[in-house]
Amino acid sequence: MAGKKKLFVKTYGCQMNVYDSERMQEALGGQGYEPTAAPEDADMILLNTCHIREKAAEKIYSELGRYKGLKAAKPDLKFAVAGCVAQAEGAEIVKRQPMVDLVVGPQSYHKLPAMAKALDGGARAIDTDFPLEDKFDHLSARAKAKRAPAAFLTVQEGCDKFCAFCVVPYTRGAEVSRPSARVLDEARQLVDQGVREITLLGQNVNAYHGHKGGLAGLIWELADIDGLARIRFTTSHPNDMDDALIDAHGQCDKLMPYLHLPVQSGSDKILKAMARKHTASQYLKIIDRLRAVRPDLLLSGDFIVGFPGETEADFQDTLSLVRSVGYGQAYSFKYSARPGTPAAEKATVDDATATDRLHRLQALLSEQQTAAQNAMVGRETTVLFEKPGREAGQWVGKSEHLQAVHVLTSQAGKGDLVKVRITQASSNSLQGEFLEKVG
């Protein structure tokens, strides 16, 4: 009897791609594919790609190039490209790399089984439509196997904001929310499979409207699920941070005190040119309101430096916004002109200047991150044990504030919620001593 075919999946980009990769793996399971961690064993190599910056997109072609030897040794090996590069470049991918057999955009993953079947007949399959049906309604049911304690759950996709630099509205399409009843069913199933923490995902997750109470309404219903201990969500847009969601941060015990709220720049001139539709002081006001209800909220953000027209004074405005917020964690990027976006038409800041700004911003952000880590020493927090650490008897999990914590103990294990006291901090992780199991 022929053995099962093997599928190797490599994921780039944001958490939504991580979630989608799982769903694609499950969908291809029905076509006789089982996952492998070794590309050399694979019958199909699937790259789930990201188009957000030029480097991310170009990486895909160098990655494909690296697999040429495998293809030579195994001519039946299939290559599939999914995700945002697939959506943005479509059939162009095959022109640039003829080895590619299948190209599928993010809204068409439910068609993967039929597309994979077509490959067996030697055909190519390309689908980058934005179909009217909801892919989630047509994707195969989720696998029933036991799962890791922390899971992602996509509740909203796409973006209608059209920031001047960003490809997401083009690669993911218009904002669509999954109905809350479906999300709650999936969440209950995840909990039955051992999940204790769910991170709700969306390109603009706080624009969620699949529940009459918006994202806050969904969070409150999720909080009623027995066995679910923690809820997080990402990524939010400042303009969709409504009162109900801010209040939930103060009142919902299961909602963790961590918020990723990108601002991109501290200069009103640049924010306007970026079409962010808010000012720096409006952003700061939202942070104040959040901290008023949840003083220990840890904030994370995204920043772009070197956006067209950014002067040293604009950049100083970004530094001073960062100083007044005090981030616990953040991502910063050099502006990358993306084809088809309005900003791509504008003259860019020279690369050396942008690189220099990036380094200065990163130095400040990393100083703030170290301070936030050090501030944890001596404090008590809960940790959800996710996996064994490198040392014998050690467990690794996340704090309430999403910091990695290492704990040596034999009194708790995977999936346990444990109260610890933080004893040591480094810039990327914390050490904690076991106090008691709390769930």
Interface with ligand SF4, residue 163, by CB under 6 A? yes
Rg (CA), the chain: 22
Task: Give the C-alpha separation, 52 to 50, whole Å.
Answer: 6
The entry of ligand SF4, ligand SAH, ligand F3S, none that residue 169 binds, CB within 5 to 8 Å by partner kind: ligand SF4
> How many residues in the shown chain lie near ligand F3S by CB under 6 A?
14
Per the CB < 8 A criterion, the answer to whether 159 and 172 are in contact is yes
Work out which of 5, 6, 7, 16 binds ligand F3S, going by CB under 6 A. 16
- Are 297 and 259 in contact by the 8 Å Cβ rule? The answer is yes
- Contact between 50 and ligand F3S by CB under 6 A: the answer reads yes
Query: Looking up tokens 């050690």, which residue turns up?
Result: 394
Q: Is residue 349 involved in binding ligand SAH (CB under 6 A)? A: no
Count residues binding ligand SF4 (CB under 6 A). 10
Q: How far is CA 256 from the centre of its chain?
A: 17
Give the nearest distance from C-beta 159 to ligand F3S in angstroms.
Answer: 8
- Pick between residue 6 and residue 237 the one whose CB is nearest to ligand SF4: 237
| Structure-token pair, residue 194 | 């051992």
Give the whole-angstrom CA distance, residue 179 versus residue 199.
Answer: 17
Residue 274 Cα distances to 218, 343, 390, angstroms = 30, 8, 44
128-134, long-range: CB < 8 A, 24+ apart: 128/86, 128/87, 128/90, 128/103, 128/104, 129/105, 130/105, 130/173, 130/174, 131/107, 134/176, 134/178
Binding-residue pattern over the window 145 to 184 for ligand F3S, x denoting contact by CB under 6 A: ----------------------xx--xx------------
Of 232 and 237, which has the nearer Cβ to ligand SF4? 237
How far apart (Å, rounded) are the C-alpha atoms in residues 388 and 319? Answer: 39
Select the residue interacting with ligand SF4 from 53, 237, 249, 294 (CB under 6 A): 237
Contact 126, 91 (CB under 8 A): yes
Can you tell me which of 169, 210, 217, 432 binds ligand SF4, judged by CB under 6 A?
169
Out of 5, 6, 51, 53, the only residue in the binding site for ligand SAH (CB under 6 A) is 53
Q: How many of the chain's residues bind ligand SAH (CB under 6 A)?
A: 17
Angle at 77 between CA 76 and CA 81, to 5 degrees: 135
Q: Which stretch binds ligand SAH (CB under 6 A): 86-94, 165-173, 214-222, 287-295?
A: 165-173
* DSSP string of 316-336, one letter each residue: HHHHHHHHHH--SEEEEEE--
Q: State yes or no: residue 108 binds ligand SAH (CB under 6 A).
A: no
Q: Quote the CA–CA distance of 329 and 332 in Å, as a whole number.
A: 10
Least separation in angstroms between CB 161 and ligand SF4: 4
167-226 residues near ligand SAH, rule: CB under 6 A: 168, 203-204
Q: Where on the chain is the footprint of ligand F3S (CB under 6 A)?
A: 13-14, 16-17, 50-52, 83-84, 167-168, 171-172, 203
Q: Where on the chain is the footprint of ligand SAH (CB under 6 A)?
A: 52-53, 165-166, 168, 203-204, 235, 237, 262, 264, 302, 304, 333, 335-336, 338
Q: Where on the chain is the footprint of ligand SF4 (CB under 6 A)?
A: 159, 161-163, 166, 168-169, 203-204, 237
